[in-house]
Structures are given as C-alpha cells and as structure tokens.
Structure 1
C-alpha cells in the first residue's frame, strides 16, 4: 500500500539541473521499465490474492503454504513445504500421517491433491491415534488413490468394518493421475458426502458410526512410494451452526 508523500521545502530547493527530464530515448526506456515493473507488481498482487482468497467468510485456511503450523506429524514419513505446496513422501514405506492440532465434528473441507507416486492416501476424520504410534484408536477416511478402480472419494472405516461405501463404477475414472484434483468432503454427524473434480461421488448415511469427533489427518499408506502433493486446504466448521 502506498502512502502520500509531501515534498518538503528543502526538497523543493533541489537544483533545477537535477530535475531535468532525461533525453527522449532514455525517457522511453524509463517509461517502458516502469510499465514492466507496474505490470509485474499487479500480476504478483493478483496471484497473491488468488492464493489467499477465502471461499467464504466462514472458511478457514488449514495450510498456510509456508510451514506446518497447525499440524502435527505422526510416524516417520516426510512432510515438507516446498514452493507453497505440501509434500508427503513415504521414505520408509510405512504409515505416516499429518494431523490437525484441532478437533473437528461437523465440517466441510476443500483441498487439491496430486498423486505423484504409486502410493495410497486419504483424508481421515473423527480420528485418534495411540500415543507415539501410527495406530488409530478411531476414525473414518475419505479415500485418495489415483489408480483406476481404487475408489477415490469412497469412505473407509478404521473401526474394523473396512469399506462402508464406494463411488459408483462409472465415476471411478474421475480421478486424474499426475494432475491436480479438486476434492470437497462434508461430514455432518453420520452423514458423509464427497465431490471430486465437480462430480458427486458419495452421499451416504452410516448406519453404525463409531466416532463423531476427532482430528483430521492426511495419510501416507504403507507399501507404496506414497509421493503426494496438497494445496489450497480450507475448512468450514458446521458444528457451530
């Protein structure tokens, strides 16, 4: 933001020779350079606005694009921030999680993900972990797996039930390997919804829910390369409505 600047009397007394306009060629170069700088500055502002623009007044940014503030690592896998992106890498091919510091009950969550490796991931919710362990004590999961017919956007229960709902077969090809995918999930009590790349994938009421509150966690599944990228993570708390 620019602030107004008044010329002081001492500045007004600057010798006239110092205030002479540059020769025409130099003037053109000066103006051209100023135009480039102004255009670049405007572009930078627009990009910055796109990065931080809230989807709505009640949406909160979960990932700041700079560091892991608000998150806790679970397990030995790598979670880093590079070029504004959240990178999850399965270095040991074991389970790894990045868990929110806050608990969430009813919410909508919006994010973008990209599958770089062959590993499996997911968005866990209503989740808890054993102390100093990657073993869960409770929770559910919205699936992320960019391989065909691996049920991305389906819901998996961590209470021993396994899969509780899959997307319809005709929607299994909506996910895109190696490209950014738009993911929107919603949890209200035992009612779960997911939308992937603009397509409704799941709208399901769980008949046997085992948890109604807990952490949100991003997962790196054991066994695969598990190279995942995330950005634009936002959450909207619906439990306060």
Structure 2
C-alpha cells in the first residue's frame, strides 16, 4: 500500500514538473527581454502591460520573440485603446519590416478579429463568421487563444472558437511569434497575461 502511494506521489510530481517545463514566460511584465523590435513604431511596458503604439513614421512595426515556436497553445489578453489594427503572427520570419508568415487578426469590430491572414502570400485563408465578430469588446480587455499544432490552427475569442484551419504550408513552417502595428498611424493596443504552453 505504502509503495503504491509513493509511486503515485512520484508520478504526480513528475507530471507537475513536466507541465511546468512546457510553460514558457513570453512577457515578464517589466521590460522587453526575450523580444526584438522591428521598425520605428513604439513598443514599451506600462503598468505591467505591453503597449504597441504608432510612431511618427506611421508604418508597419513588429515585436517578435527571439526564439522560434512551432507547436504551442498561446493565450493572451488585448485591449484596443485606439484604432486596434494589430495581430499575432506565428511561425514567421522577417527581413527589415517585411514579414513572412501567418497572422491571427486583431482589429476593430467587423474587421476579422480571429481570422488567419498569410502575409506576402495567399492573403486571407479564413475569416470568422460575421456573427462571431460581435464577441469583440471594443475598448475593453479581450482574451485571444491560439493553438498551433502540425498543420492545424484554431483560434478563440473570449472563449468562443472563431476559426479552425488545416493547411499544409503552415504545417511545414517554423518561426517566431510576433505582435504587429499596422501602418497608417493612430494605433494603440495593450497586451497582458501571455501564457504559452509548448505542445
């Protein structure tokens, strides 16, 4: 009996340690450690939140992870304080400010938040249903979840599944995760509570 309990305890501890190893801290709430800025737009930390804001050039800007992530389950929160045209890129690469990869859209109401767009490629691969876009809370905190495994991508907004996509080209790719500032100016989005689990 004692041996059985000891074995159960050891298995539980092993699983807990293993689960902790798979969890990755993307944003420490203090600075941009682990991230790289691309372009001249503004990226900074305010009150423990990561802020992206248009700069004087009003061009595209990106903040990418220094590491690559292939299979993962990512949850984060965002709040659009001004024009919220932004997004979360995955399995991506960049030269200057020309990014190659896939973006989960974060945008104002009725502009495809949760849909998947291929940058410098095929364009929109899948858009959410118009009725699902009403889940976006403008000017308030929203929760986005992105699960990427093999050739499948699933997105959720505020707990509701937005899209599911199987795509061979995505399945072959690897690269960083990045946040975007769209060009045009007047954009300000806050991000917090990044939770990433490697799969």
What TM-score, normalized to structure 2? Answer: 0.86
Give the whole-Å Cα distance in 1 for the aligned partners of 2:118 and 2:160.
Answer: 22
Match of 1:25 in 2: none
CA contact (8 A) 1:189 1:212 kept: no
Matched, 1:105 2:66: no
**Within 1, Cα distance between the matches of 2:29 and 2:179?**
16
Matched, 1:189 2:135: no
Counterpart-to-counterpart distance in 1, 2:45 and 2:120:
32
User: Unmatched 5+ residue regions in structure 1?
Assistant: 1-55
Q: Judging by fraction of residues, say which structure has more strand.
A: 2
Aligned to 1:177: 138
Distance in 2 between the 1:198 and 1:88 partners?
A: 24
Q: For the Cα contact (< 8 Å) 2:151–2:171, is it kept in 1?
A: no
Segments of structure 2 that go 5 or more residues without pairing to the other structure are 1-18
What is the distance in 1 between the residues matched to 2:84 and 2:112?
14
* Alpha carbons 1:119, 1:223 under 8 Å: kept: no
C-alpha RMSD of matched pairs (Å): 1.4
Which gives a bigger RCO, structure 1 or 2 (Cα 8 Å, sep 6+)? 2
Which runs of 4 or more aligned residues in structure 1 lie more than 3 Å from their structure 2 counterparts after TM superposition?
207-211
Given that 1:159 and 1:210 are in contact with CA atoms closer than 8 Å, whether structure 2 keeps it comes out as no
Larger Rg belongs to: 1
Name the SS of the counterpart of 2:82 in structure 1: coil
Q: How does 1:43-192 map to 2 (within 5 A)?
A: 57=20, 58-91=22-55, 92-130=57-95, 133-136=96-99, 138-145=100-107, 147-192=108-153
